[in-house]
Amino acid sequence: MTDETTWIIQAQQGDDEAFTYLVETYQKPVYNLCYRMLGEPESAEDAAQETFLKVYQNLARYDRERSFATWLLSIAAHHCIDRLRRRRFPSVSIDEDEEGQTDIPDRFAPDPESETTKRQERESLHQCLQSLDPTDRAAVIMRYWQDFSEVEIAQALKLTVPAVKSRLHRARRALADLWEDKPAHMRTERKPYGSPAF
Amino acid sequence: MDHRPFEDWLLDNDQPLTTDQKRQLNTHLRTCSSCTTLAEMNLALKSVKLAAPEVGFSGRFQVRLAAKKHALRRRNFVGFLILTLSVLGLLGLVSWPVLKDLIQSPVNFFSSWISSLVSLWASLQALFRAGMVLFKVAPGFVPAYIWVVILFATGGWSVVWVVSLMKFTKVKQGV
């Protein structure tokens, strides 16, 4: 039995300390998902906290045969999708970066210009993500940030595997179109064909 | 320009490319801006990092959880209070005529209750005596063959009932 399973069992028996371990372990992936889905640090914090509250209240229903991470992120994704549906106007924060700090380049960094470019690239990508359909966005986040397989994404979002494939295809195409429309300085200066990834 | 299979590799293929595929893709990307954008997008997505919450997330969660538990306890208490008061109010409303008599004249109330109980007891005794008389007298009026018919009818009815029960409650074996 893994440590995580032990914590889950203890938390299911009402041990709040064990649940805190789970919160500390999964706070980053849950917050990241909420931040990428909602686009604002404040909303992301609130959504991540609400996700953990829902998990706390429904922990007795968790099936230990399933992956806890998939179950947890499924709750987070559905919570964010519901929030986005309730939202009247989409809002995107461009004032703050991922750590909640203002976008001031670090002049002591080895290459401030490069740091600024990377930051702009992240911001640009973040803005592109916000224009996707919420479920497509959740699929992309799970694929690239959480490294979920298509089967895991399908389980988390209650979709079929072909539907996930189709959504990922559509989302990548839409992101590429948006990426192309961005000004050149906002896009990466790397040459894809020069990258070891290819 | 033919973008296949390069678009498929960039859009749908999550598996690492072979050396030959990489060479073909790199050659294609030098001349195709559309696929270059796709590749750039893929690179950007693959190089993203996890956003982290501000320090003290689990502490803030503990505070929120405590507040939620407190609110739940308060809601449960208020709900219990409303339910109890409602039940007591309803009981009071239903029993008000009786209570009113009890308050106005307790002696009359108890004496009327006792006399009601006594008359009920007397009625039951009279009914029992009438039944006993009927039981003693009835065999003289009813002919013997009627008794035989009643006996057989009751027996037959019981058999039909038992057989029906056995038939409908039988659990099928096998298959």
Query: Model ipTM?
Result: 0.74
Mutation for B interface: A24, A170, A172, most B CBs within 10 A? A172
Cα gap B41→A194, rounded to integer Å: 14
Enumerate the residues of chain A whose CB falls inside 8 A of the CB of residue B39.
Answer: 192-193, 198
Residue B112 is predicted with a pLDDT of 87
Q: What angle do CA A25, A27, A28 make, to 5 degrees?
A: 100
CB-facing half-sphere around the CA of A9: CA atoms within 13 A: 7
Looking at residue B104, its amino acid is Q
Q: What are the b/e assignments for A73-88, b being 16+ CB within 10 Å?
A: bbbbbbbbbebbeeee
| End-to-end Cα, chain B, rounded Å | 64
Helix (H) or strand (E) segment spanning residue B73: helix B57-94
Cα gap A62→A68, rounded to integer Å: 8
Sole residue written with tokens 């939202």:
A87
Check whether B104 has a pLDDT greater than 70: yes
User: How large a percentage of chain A has pLDDT more than 90?
Assistant: 53
Give the distance, in angstroms, between the CA of residue A154 and the centroid of all CA atoms in the same chain.
Answer: 16
Q: Taking the C-alpha atoms of A106, A110, A112 and A113 in order, what is their torsion angle to the nearest 10 degrees?
A: -160
Compare all CA atoms of chain A with the CA of B47 and give the residue at the minimum distance: A144
Weakest mean pLDDT among A21-30, B35-44, B74-83, B120-129: B35-44
Cα gap B20→A195, rounded to integer Å: 15
Residue A98 is predicted with a pLDDT of 46
Cα gap B55→B60, rounded to integer Å: 9
> For the whole model, what pTM was predicted?
0.66
- Strand-pairing partners, residue A13, are none
- The model's pLDDT over A121-170, given as tens digits with 9 standing for 90+, comes to 777 888 888 889 999 999 999 998 888 999 999 999 999 999 999 999 89
Compare all CA atoms of chain A with the CA of B68 and give the residue at the minimum distance: A53
Going by pLDDT thresholds of 50, 70 and 90, the confidence category of residue B122 is very high
**What average pLDDT does range B106-118 have in this prediction?**
90
Residue A62 is predicted with a pLDDT of 92
| Mean pLDDT, chain B, integer | 87
Check whether A24 has a pLDDT greater than 90: yes
Residue B168 is predicted with a pLDDT of 80
When CB atoms are compared, the residue of B25, B36, B57 closest to A27 is: B57
Sole residue written with tokens 């037959």:
B156
User: How large a percentage of chain B has pLDDT more than 70?
Assistant: 94
Which two structure tokens, joined as six digits, stand for B50? 């996890």
Domain ranges of chain B: 4-47, 64-104
**What average pLDDT does range A166-188 have in this prediction?**
78
Of A121, A129, A122, A110, residue with least CA distance to A178: A129
CB contact under 8 A, B12 and A168: yes
Compare all CA atoms of chain A with the CA of B53 and give the residue at the minimum distance: A31
Going by pLDDT thresholds of 50, 70 and 90, the confidence category of residue A114 is low
Contacts of B169 (CB under 8 A, 6+ apart): none
List residues of B whose CB lies inside 8 A of any A CB. Answer: 10-12, 14, 17, 22, 25-26, 29-30, 36-46, 48-54, 57-58, 60-62, 64-65, 68
- Strand-pairing partners, residue A96, are A102
Mutation for B interface: A33, A42, A49, most B CBs within 10 A? A49
Phi, psi of B169, rounded to the nearest 5 degrees: -100, 5
Residue A128 burial (10 A CB sphere; 0-12, 13-18, 19+): buried
Residue B23 is predicted with a pLDDT of 86
Weakest mean pLDDT among A72-76, A109-113, A142-146, B96-100: A109-113
Check whether B71 has a pLDDT greater than 60: yes
**What average pLDDT does range B84-102 have in this prediction?**
90
Enumerate the residues of chain A whose CB falls inside 8 A of the CB of residue B11.
Answer: 169, 172-173
**What average pLDDT does range B11-22 have in this prediction?**
78
CB contact under 8 A, A198 and B37: no
- Find the radius of gyration of the CA atoms of chain A: 18
Which two structure tokens, joined as six digits, stand for B13? 């293929």
- The model's pLDDT over A159-173, given as tens digits with 9 standing for 90+, comes to 999 999 999 989 988
Enumerate the residues of chain B whose CB falls inside 8 A of the CB of residue A175.
Answer: 41, 45
Of A47, A53, A57, A54, residue with least CA distance to A84: A47
Compare all CA atoms of chain B with the CA of A182 and give the residue at the minimum distance: B37
Phi, psi of B126, rounded to the nearest 5 degrees: -65, -40
Cα gap B25→B35, rounded to integer Å: 9
When CB atoms are compared, the residue of A23, A145, A180 closest to B37 is: A180
Looking at residue A136, its amino acid is D
Weakest mean pLDDT among A66-70, A113-117, B41-45, B114-118: A113-117
User: How large a percentage of chain A has pLDDT more than 70?
Assistant: 76
